[in-house]
Amino acid sequence: MTSPLTSQAVPLAGVLGWPISHSLSPLLHGHWIEHLGLKAHYVPLGCPPSAFQEAVPALLKTGFVGFNVTVPHKEAAANLCDVLTSRAEAMGSVNTLWCEEGRLHGDSTDGLGFLSALPALAPGQNGVVIGAGGSAKAIVYALAQEAGLSHITIANRSTGKAEALCNAMAQHVPHVGFEAMPLEAAQNALHDKTLIVNTTSLGMTGQPPLVLDLQDADPNAIVYDIIYTPAQTPLLKTAQAAGLTTMNGLAMLIGQARPGFARWFGVDAPVTGQEEDLLTTALGTASD
Ligand code: ATR
């Protein structure tokens, strides 16, 4: 699976999803392409699930150098790959595809994006992750592998999913302790945590908030909500009022996009400081 086109062709990349109109990736990659003055294009590619398997090799034959992959194709994309990074293998899904020596490679960069925005933590800290879906899986794996946490609590509405995620992670990262609990128990688990992460849709525009009392949280705790609509969720407002460090999902969104850009276009995507403003304006969240 390699492009027959020569290096004189303008490289094309894009994001495959269904639906795709909401994706911010074309805006972000387009900004970097323009900022760097590259001759390249990044386009949205609406692709129904029934066409995905044929679409990827067909597009690669027309000059595409790679893709981002979003809902609902992330697992199907992993199955198409000849080579997966170890984290993509652990996730069973990919969001970034590229070709090397005729072989299709896949990576899962959400965890990298999450970590790119997180300040370095002192080793041996405890964290709590709310949620046990696809985003939580990528984040827990990245935290366990690379952030030096010694213990991670996973709290979820469906406790069984939190337990399954703990068991899976314990296989991959045996030196970290994992504990599952129901969402209602998260409040009582906060006091000794220096990292509190929301990966659920609670707090997203149109959804009920994630209500946590943070008055007794560790004063050094970081509260990281991966939501970016709104830019400041009720949870982050509560954290700010308690004097805690907060982070939203925009930096993660930018961070997960950069590895693909470097693979496809051979140059690092610069963090110019304009990216968050650009995305915030596009989302219409400037006043949130
Ligand atoms: P993503 O890929 O964004 O992680 P997902 O895999 O669908 O999406 O996971 C969504 C997460 O949000 C899950 O942890 C889900 O809890 P359940 O596993 O119990 O379904 C959580 N979630 C979604 N809506 C919720 C709600 N109203 N209350 C509590 N948790 C919710």
Single pTM value for the model: 0.93
| Banded model confidence at residue 288, pLDDT cuts 50, 70, 90 | very low
Phi, psi of 165 (to 5 degrees): -65, -40
pLDDT tens for each residue of 264-280: 999 999 998 899 999 99
pLDDT at 71 over 60: yes
Cβ 198 under 6 angstroms from ligand 1: no
Q: Just list the catalytic residues.
A: 74
| Closest atom of ligand 1 to CA, residue 162 | 18
Mutate to test the pocket of ligand 1, among 200, 202, 229 (most ligand atoms within 8 A of CB): 200
Q: Which atom of ligand 1 lies nearest, measured to the CA of 157?
A: 19
More confident residue, 93 or 3: 93
The mean pLDDT of the chain is 94
For ligand 1, atom 5: residue with the closest CA: 133
Q: What is the pLDDT of residues 216-269, one digit of tens each?
A: 999 999 999 999 999 999 999 999 999 999 999 999 999 999 999 999 999 999
Instruction: Check pocket membership of 91 for ligand 1, CB cut-off 6 A.
Output: no
Kindly state the tokens that stand for 220. Answer: 């050094």
Closest ligand 1 atom number to CA of residue 131? 14
- What per-residue confidence (pLDDT) applies to 9? 80
Q: How far is ligand 1, taken at its centre, from the CA of residue 29, in Å? A: 28
Residue 1 pLDDT > 90: no
> Separation of 139 CA from ligand 1 center, angstroms?
14
Residue 206, phi then psi, degrees to nearest 5: 90, -5
Q: Mean of the pLDDT values across residues 38-43?
A: 97
Range of weakest confidence among 16-20, 119-123, 128-132, 151-155: 119-123
